[in-house]
Structures are given as C-alpha cells and as structure tokens.
Amino acid sequence: MHVVATAVFVALFVLVSILGFLSARWRRGDLRHLHEWGLGGRRFGGWITWFLIGGDLYTAYTFIAVPALVFGAGALGFFAVPFTVLVYPLVFSILPRFWSVTKAHGYVTAADFVAGRYGSPTLALVVALTGIVATMPYIALQLVGIQVVVAALGFTGGHGLLGDLPLIVAFVVLAAFTYTSGLRAPASIAVVKDLLVYITVAALIVVVPIKLGGFGAIFASIPRTHLLLPPVKAGNLGLQSLYPTLALGSALALMLYPHATTAVLAADSPKTLRRNLVFLPAYSMLLGLIALLGYVAYAAGVEKLPDMQPYFRRYGPQFAMPGLLLHFFPGWFVGVGFAAVAIGALVPAAIMSIGAANLFTRNIYKAYIKPGCSAKTETEVAKLVSLMVKFGALLFVVYLPVKFAIQLQLLGGVLVLQTLPAVGTGLYTRWFEPKALLLGWAVGLCWGIWAASRSGFQQSGYALHLAGFVIPAYIGLYALAWNFLVAIAATALLRTLGLADATDATVTADYAG
C-alpha cells in the first residue's frame, strides 16, 4: 500500500465529490425538468463549456489507452492526435446549426432532432438505441481507468467484490452526485480535473525525460519499426492506409456519441460553441504529449522493473503511464496524478450516463411507453436510467475481462458512425428519405459487425482487396460507405416511384439561430 499517495488521492477524490453534490445549487434551475437536469438549463458560458467538452472528449481512458497503444504498437498509436485535430474544423459549422435547431424546438437529444426532421419515430428509435449501446462499454472503460490506478495504489489484496471495493465506492459516489446534480456536477468537476491533468502531464513530460537523458536518448533507444509505419509492400498499403482512415473515421464518430451532443447542447449560444471550437485544439497539444509518454515508458523499460511486473501481467501496456508515475515520482505526486486519472473518469462517465438516460427517456420511454408523461416523471425516469447504465458498466468491469470492454468500445465507434447519414446530413438537407436511411443504417450496421467479428472484435481495420491492391482501412468508414450507398440508392428509388415523404417539423430559420 502506497500510504502517502493514497492519502492525497482520497483527499482530492473527496474534494471533487463534495463539489459534485454542491453543484445542484450552482446556477439554480428546476431540476424536475429534463433540460435543466440533463443539459444544465443550456446556460453554460465560454469557460465552463470549454472545460466540459474537453473533459468529456478527453477521458480517463485516453490518458491510459493512448500511451498504452504507443507503448505496445508504436507509431500507429499517434492516430489519436490528428483525429482530434481534424474534428474541430469538421464540426465548426455543424454544431452551431445543431444547437440552434434543438434550441428552437426544445430537443434534448440527437434522436429528438431526427424524429422532428424526418417525421419518423422509428428512425429516431434506432438512432437512440445505437447511441445507448455504443455508450455502455465507453462508460465501462472509464471505470477501468479508475480500477488501474486503484490497483496501483496497492488495493490488490482482496478477491471478488472485496478486491473491487474501492471501485464500487467510486461508482456509488459518481451515481449519487449525478442523480442529485445532473450535468452541473461534471461541469464543475471538469475544471478541477483539467487542472490536475495539465499538471500531471507537464511533470511527466519534463521530469522523466530529464532523468532518462533527454528525448534524444529516448528516441535512440526505440526500434525504428516502433517509430515509423511500415512501408507499402507488394500492393499492400498496410498501416499507411489504416492510419489516416482511423483518424478520419474517429473524427466523424466522436461528435455523434450521446455524451458529446449532451455537452454541446449545454452551451448557452452558438457563439460560445464557435469560440470553444477555436480553442479546444489546445487539448490536442496535450494529447500529443500524452502519446509521447508511451515512448518514454518504452525507453524507461517500466514493464521490466520487478515491482511493476505484477501490474503489467494483469493490465498489460495499460499500465505504462501509471508505471512512470510510480517509478519516477514521490508518493504525494503519485496521488495527484492518479487522482487526475480517477477524476478524469468521473467527468465523462457522468456525462455519458446522462446522455444515455436522455436518449432512453425522450426517444423510448416518452415516445413508446408513456407518451403523456409529465416533465417531472420524465426527469425521474432519466435519473433512474442513469443509475442503471452506470450499474451495468460496473458489473461489466467487475465480472468480465477488461479486453471485452475494449473490444466492445472499438465496435461502439463503428456502430455510432452509422447514425451520421441521419444526423449529419439532416442538418443541411432533407433529401434523404427516412425509410432509405433506416435501410442504410441496417446495412452499415450489419456489415460493420460482420467485418469486426472476422478478427474476434480485436481489430478496427478491414483489408479490402481491389484491383490487385490490399487496402486496410477503418471498419467504420467502410461500413459508412455501404450505409451511404444504400441510402442514396433507396432514396432515389422512392422518389422515382413517387413514395417520398416530405414530413419535416423544422424550417430553414431554425438552423440559423
């Protein structure tokens, strides 16, 4: 047991927990209404929105998984950096339009918008279900981040539920302040989380390289095959094609996740969103430094250190960044760094559970189970569903191997990307027919699951053989291509047969704010 590190960790965890509960009184609103509980009343200004979106997109698992991928796979792991650079220009004009139309009609979810735009509750239902399914393993991975640092503190002696007791306590705290404070809790905690993360990463990227002789010595100790993508050979593009498609596909999928749309809709205006999208790339600079930690851990040989080997046997490369903290820093700073990871899990996990709960309540419960429910009932259902979602993620982490959560999260990106034709194009055109979008969604979904199953859901790439070339690319993009092709062909056919449906609850002015 690392006593000093544990004391600092617990103190910071208690601090943010208290802050989470007190958030219910911040910018007071009637929390019996879903837009107040689930969107913070749409009143978050520039600074809070910046911290909220950043804390939402750059999760605890980011700080664990990105260095782990660079540590284990080398240069491929850096795809996470260009995809976050790509995403902000892509959504600079899209998200303000999305905010404006949802504000005009009181929409709380992307599925609400789809229902209004296309007049199709069924299409809205599949968008909602896809978002919920894709979010569940994502929440589980945040709990995995907490599990890794809790184990590193020394809580590894127990078995079963006793061994996972610290994780269960963290879950209970997360569930409690999310239930009482809604989105206000992660919004206020995100400020503390980001400050701790910046401090931790700055210390790691400065102190450890100095102790290892500088970055020149670090890169000199890493094999060339780990530093560069392999070249094209015999017509097989290999990682040369997989790398950019992973970056592009991940960028397109990122803002389709329910937690991302929830954070976006909580802003107070389109101007606030645009201003944030200009400055959010600052997080991408931080992410580049986080990715470098994978090489730093590789050069330091942390997996070979006797006191680190038990952790690496259990968690593999995911222990690369925690291993650096444990080996190179005093106990009090280890507590700060591990608290940054754990708190970095609380923020996105809370937003993810709220986003999933909003989808279930608005687009399943209210649309199909109890259409005439009151605003108070709607919010109570959302609170209960947010608890159930977190509880399901907890069971997943406690009883199933971590690799299953990782595999399902990879699949979740493929699934959520198939909602792009309905949500993304719907912000600019009503040309697509809802039945055609449903068919395209089904084809893209089925193809994506089939392609992922070929590797046992362990790889995110699919190798297409075309004209003598082998073109590996992100499964989600290939599935999206099938999705669009089917939707375009089916829409053209329906319009030719005179079966087009012109239902649309929105007007052009709604998108301009």
From CA 50, how far away is CA 55, in angstroms rounded? 8
- Asked if 305 and 323 count as a contact pair (C-beta separation under 8 A), the reply is yes
DSSP letters for 402-464: HHHHHHHHHHHHHHHHTTHHHHTGGGT---S-HHHHHHHHHHHHHHHHHHHHTTTT--SEEEE
Model confidence at 378, pLDDT cuts 50, 70, 90, reads very high
Mean pLDDT computed over 351-362:
93
Tokens of 483: 């999705």
Domain membership flag for residue 364? yes
- Tell me the backbone φ, ψ of residue 462, rounded to 5 degrees: -130, 130
Q: What is the full DSSP assignment across 43-70?
A: -B-HHHHHHHHHHHHS-HHHHHHHHHHH
pLDDT at 488: 97
- pTM more than 0.75: yes
CA 421 to chain centre: 20
Asked whether residue 90 is assigned to any structural domain, the reply reads yes
Output the CA–CA distances (angstroms, integers) from residue 424 to 5, 94, 416, 428, in the order listed: 46, 8, 12, 8
**Is residue 334 over pLDDT 80?**
yes
> Could you give the CA distance from residue 305 to residue 314 in angstroms, rounded to a whole number?
15
Average pLDDT of the residues in 371-385: 91
**For residue 507, pLDDT beyond 60:** yes
Q: Is residue 145 part of a domain?
A: no
| pLDDT exceeds cutoff 70 at 433 | yes
Give me the domain span that covers residue 221. Answer: 3-121+151-232+250-402
More confident residue, 127 or 18: 127
Of the candidates 365, 315, 349, 305, the one whose C-alpha atom is nearest the C-alpha of residue 125 is 365
Find the mean pLDDT for residues 187-211. 91
Residue 353's pLDDT is what? 92
Q: Residue range 236-262: average pLDDT? A: 90
Checking if the pLDDT of 157 tops 60, the result is no
Specify the range with the lowest mean pLDDT, choosing from 20-34, 264-278, 294-308: 20-34
Is 434 part of any domain?
Answer: no
pLDDT in tens, 261-296: 999 999 999 999 999 888 888 888 888 999 999 999
- Give residue 336's pLDDT: 93
Contact, 448 vs 475, CB < 8 A? Answer: yes
If one counts the domains in the chain, the total is 1
Average pLDDT over residues 394-400: 76
Q: How confident is the model at residue 156, as a pLDDT?
A: 60
CA–CA distances in Å: residue 417 to residues 117, 364, 475: 19, 21, 10
More confident residue, 359 or 408: 359
Cross-strand pairs, 474: 461
Least confident segment among 156-170, 338-352, 391-405, 434-448: 156-170
Band (pLDDT 50/70/90 cuts) for residue 401 is: low
Is the pLDDT confidence value at 125 over 90? yes
Average pLDDT over residues 246-251: 90
Which helix (DSSP H) or strand (DSSP E) does residue 254 occupy? Answer: helix 239-254
Judge whether 502 lies within some domain: no
Residue 452 covered by a domain? no
